[in-house]
């Protein structure tokens, strides 16, 4: 199976679906001529012309407003907000319009739009270009929230999202854009709302996603040398969440760690922890542990930023702590 960087896998998903469906168009800041801030949409304007790949003004409200209106009128827009940090500028268009139109019109209006945003720290981009705000999005009924961790899932999930008739937020950890992974040449989808067990184990379940998943996998490899068997579960889609797979895993291992890059307080990991506590409390042999960033803006200082992001050593230390209980 050929290997591709995650940015290439996302590009392939957009390209192949645009070839199949003339109703799909792409719009956002610098997505056309420049090919995107991180090169994800490179070459698409050349193939599909400016009529279907549009550079927009620097106005997040206008970008999401365009997508909602176009989707309601029968098109299938893909729009990009360059960084998730700019989400606050277009809250009303996304949370009050895109997310609620189908409900408010009794199912007679569909909003088949995909909003792409990059997330995450590690690029020395400062406090206003480095956040992970998935918990905001998951709290809004009417939105689906997708967060891939590798190239295979990125292409398959995005293809599924582009064929879905609901507003979908597709989050991309920019640390993973250059990471290679196996991606088949043939057409495929990864179903929305279905988690993946990335590594099987029997002593503890770690639920994690995006860049932190790879830190958890490294921790699991390290802990295997110490005789600790770690099962790593990647939700892939945070909303809807595949709680069945998570609960089944916890019932097998009897321990749970939830790890994410977002701030720990109020992070989406708290929802997973609460669900497990409610659904399979009697199976737990140790308290559920959450790992997240400290409650502070993301530092610009490289050593401080590195310390801010959960890494394999932090994850391994927490796992050792609860496995001993």
Q: How many domains does the chain have?
A: 2
| Residue 166 shares a structural domain with residue 239 | no
Q: What is the CATH number of the domain that holds 71?
A: 3.40.50.970
Residue given tokens 């991180």 in the structure block: 38
| Residue 88 shares a structural domain with residue 123 | yes
- Contacts of 276-282 with CB under 8 Å at 24 or more apart are 276/246, 276/247, 276/250, 279/243, 279/247, 280/247, 280/250, 280/251
| Residue 80 shares a structural domain with residue 102 | yes
Residue given tokens 């996302």 in the structure block: 10
Strands 237-239 and 76-83: unpaired
Cβ atoms 192, 287 nearer than 8 A: no
pLDDT score recorded for residue 53: 98
Q: What is the mean pLDDT of residues 274-298?
A: 97
Q: CA torsion sign, 107 to 195 to 76 to 63?
A: positive
Whether residue 188 lies inside any domain: the answer is no
The model's pLDDT over 176-206, given as tens digits with 9 standing for 90+, comes to 999 999 999 999 999 999 999 999 999 999 9
Whether residue 191 lies inside any domain: the answer is no
| Residue 68 shares a structural domain with residue 43 | yes
**Chosen domain end from 149, 182, 215:** 182
| Residue 126 shares a structural domain with residue 25 | yes
| Residue 97 shares a structural domain with residue 222 | no
- Residue 324's pLDDT band, with cuts at 50, 70 and 90, is confident
Whether residue 8 lies inside any domain: the answer is yes
Active-site residue, 200 included: no
The model's pLDDT over 204-224, given as tens digits with 9 standing for 90+, comes to 999 999 999 999 999 999 999
Whether residue 189 lies inside any domain: the answer is no
pTM of the model: 0.97
Whether residue 142 lies inside any domain: the answer is yes
| Residue 134 shares a structural domain with residue 257 | no
Whether residue 303 lies inside any domain: the answer is yes
- Residue 229's pLDDT band, with cuts at 50, 70 and 90, is very high
The tokens for 39 are 């090169």
Report CA dihedral (191, 195, 197, 201) to the nearest 10 degrees: -160
| Residue 62 shares a structural domain with residue 129 | yes
Active-site residue, 134 included: no
| Residue 70 shares a structural domain with residue 115 | yes
Q: What is the CATH number of the domain that holds 252?
A: 3.40.50.920
How many Cα atoms are found within 13 Å in the side-chain-facing hemisphere of 180?
4
| Residue 35 shares a structural domain with residue 164 | yes
Among residues 214, 182, 185, 209, the alpha carbon closest in space to that of 5 is found at 182
**Chosen domain end from 156, 182, 208:** 182
Residue-wise burial string across 56-68, b where 16 or more C-beta atoms lie within 10 A, e elsewhere: beeebeebbbbbb
| Residue 145 shares a structural domain with residue 238 | no
pLDDT score recorded for residue 1: 85
Catalytic pick from 8, 17, 80, 129?
Answer: 129
| Residue 126 shares a structural domain with residue 203 | no
The model's pLDDT over 12-39, given as tens digits with 9 standing for 90+, comes to 999 999 999 999 999 999 999 999 999 9
**Chosen domain end from 182, 211, 231:** 182
Whether residue 187 lies inside any domain: the answer is no
DSSP 3-state assignment of 116? strand
CA-angle at 261, arms to 302 and 143, nearest 5°:
135
End-to-end CA distance of the chain: 42
Catalytic pick from 8, 17, 29, 60?
Answer: 60
Range of the domain at 80: 3-182
Report the percentage of the chain scoring pLDDT > 70.
Answer: 100
Q: What is the mean pLDDT of residues 270-282?
A: 97
Whether residue 268 lies inside any domain: the answer is yes
Among residues 90, 83, 41, the alpha carbon closest in space to that of 64 is found at 90
pLDDT score recorded for residue 325: 66
The model's pLDDT over 292-309, given as tens digits with 9 standing for 90+, comes to 999 999 999 999 999 999
Among residues 252, 26, 54, the alpha carbon closest in space to that of 158 is found at 26
């Amino acid at each position: 199976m050929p290997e591709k960087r995650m940015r290439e896998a996302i590009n392939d998903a957009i390209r192949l679906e645009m070839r199949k469906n003339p109703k799909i168009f792409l719009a956002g800041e610098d997505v056309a001529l420049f090919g995107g801030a991180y090169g994800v949409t490179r070459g698409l304007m050349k193939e599909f012309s400016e009529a279907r790949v549009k550079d927009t003004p620097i106005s997040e409200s206008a970008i999401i407003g365009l997508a909602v209106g176009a989707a309601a009128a029968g098109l299938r827009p893909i729009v990009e907000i360059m960084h998730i940090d700019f989400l606050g500028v277009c809250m009303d268009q996304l949370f009050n319009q895109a997310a609620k139109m189908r409900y408010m019109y009794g199912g007679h209006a569909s909003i088949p739009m995909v909003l792409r945003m990059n997330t995450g720290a590690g690029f020395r981009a400062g406090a206003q270009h480095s956040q992970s705000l998935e918990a905001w999005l998951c709290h809004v009924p009417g939105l689906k929230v997708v967060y891939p961790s590798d190239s295979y899932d990125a292409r398959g999930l995005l293809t599924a999202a582009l064929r879905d008739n609901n507003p979908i937020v597709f989050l991309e950890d920019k640390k993973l854009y250059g990471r290679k992974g196996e991606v088949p040449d043939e057409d495929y989808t990864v179903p929305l709302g279905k988690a993946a067990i990335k590594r099987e184990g029997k002593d503890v379940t770690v639920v994690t996603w995006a860049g932190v998943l790879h830190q958890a996998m490294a921790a699991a490899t390290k802990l295997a040398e110490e005789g600790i068997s770690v099962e790593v579960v990647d939700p892939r889609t945070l909303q809807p969440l595949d709680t069945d797979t998570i609960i089944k895993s916890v019932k097998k291992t009897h321990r749970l760690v939830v790890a994410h890059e977002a701030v720990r307080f109020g992070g989406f990991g708290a929802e997973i922890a609460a669900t497990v506590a409610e659904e399979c409390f009697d199976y737990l042999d140790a308290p559920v542990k959450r790992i997240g960033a400290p409650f502070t803006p993301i530092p610009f200082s490289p050593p401080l930023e590195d310390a801010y992001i959960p890494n394999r050593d932090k994850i391994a230390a927490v796992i050792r702590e609860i496995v001993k209980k």
